[in-house]
Structure 1
Amino acid sequence: MSGTLRPGVHQKPYPWRLAPFKRLPAISRHACPALETVRGSYHPGRNEDALDIYTYRRTYTGPLRAVILDWDGCIVDHGSRASALTMIELFRRHGVQVDMPQVRATMGLGQRAQLEALADMDQVALQWEQIHGVYPTQRDIYNLYEEFIPLQTACMADFGKPLPGALEAIKSLRGLGMLIGTTTSYTSDMLRILGAESIRSGFVPDVSICADHVPSGRPHPWMCLKAAMEMRRYPMEAIVKIGDTIPDIEEGLNAGMWTIGIAKTGNEVGLDETELELLSEGDRDARVIGAREKLSRAGAHYVADSLEDVPQIVDLINRRLADGARQLQCRTCSR
């Protein structure tokens, strides 16, 4: 009878049913074993649409297939000083004093975005207004960027020597079958000079992506995704992004990749090898620990002192992937 529940059938419609008597075509339990788990055993015609409460998610259990590296502070330029020193010199030429901590706080962004971030700081904007009569405008940012490019390009060759252990680490990663990509906030012309120096030292990446190759640089994921596409490597869980700045880590996370922060040789410590060695052991350790904590708080899955430590971290990640693990929060690895 219409409106009467049949004997033996649940007395209340399931909450996800639109109509208690609507019948859908029967689905074989052999084709859909998940139906066995819905309120006991499978009953044809009764709980086929209960599949709506399940989601399907694959788990990648293969090894890492590619690494995407930042250049400064990871492969070359201990302390990531090339861009920082150029920024300070650029503002000095306009009568504005910008100090190293201010520049460090903006590192990793695209260079135009970095100029905007510096010009937006109260101390910098006030100095600019006192000298030029107005606060920095977008036209000023454009002019600064146009002036910055030749200044930075002129000094690129001075910072192209690979860091100790970097080439050996890259060779180890290649031995694991990984492709090597790079991303950078440098322009194509700047990277051409830096790349020529690295080639002379024996490092030739499979792919190099600059900020002017994509709509926007870090922390957006576009450089990482373009590198993955050109290397033909996927899924994103099979790729690890390595960098020494917070925007580097955010770039990798936004792309859905594993991330490794580089502390000791990178921007967050911000010293070249000589300057670092001149520090007392206590001061040196304090700087490195502070850098690790910053990168960890930014979301890095692992933090290393230098690229030398990366092969052992890759081994750890590969073992975790083989066990079906997903990306978890930070661990620190150092020699």
Structure 2
Amino acid sequence: MGMRSTHGYKVEAVILDWAGTVVDFGSWAPTAIFVEAFRDACDFKITLKEAREPMGLGKWHHIKALGELPAVASRWMNQFGRPMDDKDVDRIYNTFLPLQKVRVAEYSDPIPGSLDTVEWLRHRGIKIGSCSGYPREVLDVLVEAAARKGYRPDAAVACDDLAPGGRPGPWMALQNMIDLHTSSVKHCIKVDDSLPGIYEGLNAGMWTVGLMLSGNETGMTLSQFNEASEQTKEKCRRIAGQKFRSAGCHYIIDSIADLPEVIQDIEKQL
């Protein structure tokens, strides 16, 4: 069984992503604003689908990764006659950041079931950490907006808080452990709707839980989701589930509302 934590068989902490995991059903805040930032900074068009591809990375690296997508790179080359470089990434990022700060609070509604799950965690004495691909100045705005709507995690780490950077590295997840005074990675769970966030948890040695329907992988608004047929939802589950399984995710569920049963299962295994 390996090393035992001082907490015996109990899950000590859950580290939650933000957009698409606890707030902002469908992870729309970053997606929509990437499209705007490319348009405003460079008069260049990207699609919402393209904007979602590298989701979970820190936002500067997300923009750089977008520029490296074959279809985007080819359109960029056609429009500007040269590949996208770091100066372009800086220009788009510097346009993205103020837009994101202004708009992130608009996308701070809790995902259905998230506040109930948080209450369930609190009742069991499980600490709640959080981290994000948002930089600190955006995360601070979101933390404040979410608090007004009833969500207050015990710790919040931003992608630019730490020198090594963000996902898929383990650093934000491990910083949460330090902030929360937890004793073993084996007793921590990383919950995310994006693959870089799952790799972050795996690289930190934690249990990982992927969310198929509430976030970036499905990318519906809440009203679109509520109106979707069971068949559509099943197709989304199949596609997202396959990605999470390939990444080595330990558990795959629809949304954070289903997290309590996962935690009970992990505690049996501990």
Partner of 2:23: 76
Q: Confirm whether residue 286 of structure 1 aligns to residue 231 of structure 2.
A: no
- Deviation (angstroms), 1:235: 0.7
Q: TM-score, normalised on structure 1?
A: 0.76
Indicate the SS of the match to 1:292.
helix
1:265-280 equivalence runs, <5 A: 265-280=214-229
| Residue-by-residue CA offset, 1:20-56 (whole Å, 9 max, x unaligned) | xxxxxxxxxxxxxxxxxxxxxxxxxxxxxxxxxxxx9
Measured on the aligned residues, the alpha-carbon RMSD in Å equals 1.5
1:96-245 equivalence runs, <5 A: 96-214=44-162, 215-245=164-194
Query: Does the aligned pair in 2 maintain the 1:244–1:262 contact within 8 Å?
Result: yes
Indicate the SS of the match to 2:157.
strand
| Residue-by-residue CA offset, 1:123-165 (whole Å, 9 max, x unaligned) | 2223223333321111111111111101111111110111111
Aligned counterpart for 2:3 among listed residues 24, 36, 58: 58
Indicate the SS of the match to 2:131.
strand
Structure 1 stretch displaced more, 255-264 or 269-278: 269-278
The structure whose RCO (Cα within 8 Å, separation 6+) is larger is 2
Question: Given residue 291 of structure 1, which amino acid in structure 2 is its aligned partner?
Answer: A
| Residue-by-residue CA offset, 1:209-255 (whole Å, 9 max, x unaligned) | 00011121000000001110111102100100000011111000000
Structure 1 stretch displaced more, 104-113 or 249-258: 104-113
1:38-57 equivalence runs, <5 A: 57=2
Indicate the SS of the match to 1:79.
coil
Indicate the SS of the match to 1:169.
helix
- Structure 1 unaligned blocks of 5 or more: 1-55, 322-335
Question: Given residue 77 of structure 1, which amino acid in structure 2 is its aligned partner?
Answer: D
Query: Does the aligned pair in 2 maintain the 1:95–1:131 contact within 8 Å?
Result: no
Indicate the SS of the match to 1:184.
coil
Q: TM-score, normalised on structure 2?
A: 0.94
Question: Given residue 86 of structure 2, which amino acid in structure 1 is its aligned partner?
Answer: Q
More helix by share: 2
CA distance in 2, matches of 1:58, 1:189: 38
Partner of 1:253: 202
CA distance in 2, matches of 1:122, 1:195: 35
Indicate the SS of the match to 2:233.
helix
Indicate the SS of the match to 1:67.
strand
Query: Does the aligned pair in 2 maintain the 1:263–1:291 contact within 8 Å?
Result: yes
